[in-house]
Structure 1
């Protein structure tokens, strides 16, 4: 069984990611979706008044908990309209969202975390969307970031962006095998040349590492790496961009949230942050 963890905060961003997960589960046999909402109340909130001079009482917490569970059930019903056969679990925790995600991943085998990315016009709409990259950096499992305009399409082509540097350290071969074993897709390896020469030895190592996947190799010149990737994915009609947020990787810049947000906002297709 494939298990998808979908953190939600009842924003349009998160709802869109949840509906994408429902469509994905429709295409995948034997899949389960876990809708996770975190309602964290700190000790200070329970003893100190808010700017409105309201103290968070046990009764307030109980009412808010009931409201959130009701909202989770409503979202579940919307997802079942997309896939009536979907197995969907609703989960409400009293921890921070990041801790809730990591604890759930450590508790059971999760295949994929699906998070919505805020768009340009919805910058502050979703706390989860605003922290998508922080979550992906902390998560031990792959994270799929769904841009606001990305609709689900059967995944036939995926773009793997790589700069052919330190490929042994950055290439998640096992994770790629896991993805390709579940999806019959064509892998397009893209090198964006921003003026630096390609290391032929590293290129050879990469070809050897990926030979079992029979990828196509493409080379493009573009001063703006992010725009170059997005433009290539669009021209090839790819349904997925794979990024490698590891030290030394082509996407080392993903450690800086502003660059990461550019990729997920500008991309018209979901971005898979892949790790071994």
Structure 2
């Protein structure tokens, strides 16, 4: 079974990601989507009034839980209209979003976490969108970040962006092969630092590592790394960008919110953050 975990907070951003997950699940004969909502009330919130001078009483908490469960069921219905064959589970937790996601991943075999990314005009719309990078940093499974303008397309071509440096340490080959073996993808490997001297040993190692997938190799010397990747993906008609947020990788900078936000905002396709 292919299981997708989709954190939602009932924003347009999160709903868009959930619907993307439902369309993505069509490609799988046995798919499960978990809609996770985290309702965390801190100790301070339970004793201090809100800005509206309301106290978070047990009755208010119970009402909020009831409303959230109803909203989850409503979203579940929408997803089943998109893919009636999928299994959709609603899951409400009383912990923080980060802890809730990691706890669920540790208790069940999750193939992919799918998160909506906030756009330029909605930076504060979704708490989950603003926490996408924190979740990506902590998640032991791949995270797919869906930009607000990324409409679902059958994934036929993917761009793997790397810098041909410290390939053995940087490329999460097990996770990469797991993704590529499940999807018939045309893989385009983009060296985004082609102006630098390329270590021939590293290049040969990468070619050998990916030989089973027959990728095409491309080179870019665009002065703006993010723009170079996005432009290349668009020109090539790719439906996915694969990023490697790991030590030594140039994509390590993606773990800093400002850079990652640029990529997910500028990208017209989802960005897969892949780690071993």
Give CA-to-partner distance per residue, 1:52-77, whole Å, 9 cap, x none: 22211110000000000000011111
1:128-167 correspondence runs (5 A):
128-167=128-167
1:193-212 correspondence runs (5 A):
193=193, 195-212=195-212
Distance between the aligned counterparts of 1:164 and 1:194, measured in 2? Answer: 9
Cα displacement (A) at 1:85 = 1.6
**Preserved CA contact (<8 Å) 2:194 2:219:** no
Which residue pairs with 1:75 in the alignment? Answer: 75
Note if 1:106 corresponds to 2:110.
no
Give CA-to-partner distance per residue, 1:231-252, whole Å, 9 cap, x none: 0000110010000000101201
Note if 1:214 corresponds to 2:220.
no
Distance between the aligned counterparts of 2:273 and 2:97, measured in 1? Answer: 19
Flag structure 2 segments of 5+ consecutive residues without an equivalent. none
| Structure 2 SS opposite 1:193 | coil
| Structure 2 SS opposite 1:110 | coil
Cα displacement (A) at 1:196 = 2.2
Give CA-to-partner distance per residue, 1:153-180, whole Å, 9 cap, x none: 1111100001001110011111111111
Flag structure 1 segments of 5+ consecutive residues without an equivalent. none
Cα RMSD (Å): 1.0
1:228-267 correspondence runs (5 A):
228-267=228-267
| Structure 2 SS opposite 1:40 | coil
**Preserved CA contact (<8 Å) 1:194 1:221:** yes
Give CA-to-partner distance per residue, 1:191-244, whole Å, 9 cap, x none: 113742222221111112111221110012200000000000001100100000
Runs of 4+ in 1 over 4 A off after TM superposition: none
Distance between the aligned counterparts of 1:230 and 1:53, measured in 2? Answer: 46
TM-score (norm 2): 0.98
Distance between the aligned counterparts of 2:214 and 2:14, measured in 1? Answer: 35
Cα displacement (A) at 1:27 = 1.9
TM-score (norm 1): 0.98
**Preserved CA contact (<8 Å) 1:118 1:125:** yes
Aligned residues: 276
Distance between the aligned counterparts of 2:47 and 2:137, measured in 1? Answer: 33
Distance between the aligned counterparts of 2:93 and 2:240, measured in 1? Answer: 31
1:50-65 correspondence runs (5 A):
50-65=50-65
**Preserved CA contact (<8 Å) 1:194 1:225:** no
Distance between the aligned counterparts of 1:51 and 1:219, measured in 2? Answer: 53
**Preserved CA contact (<8 Å) 1:194 1:222:** no
Distance between the aligned counterparts of 2:193 and 2:41, measured in 1? Answer: 48
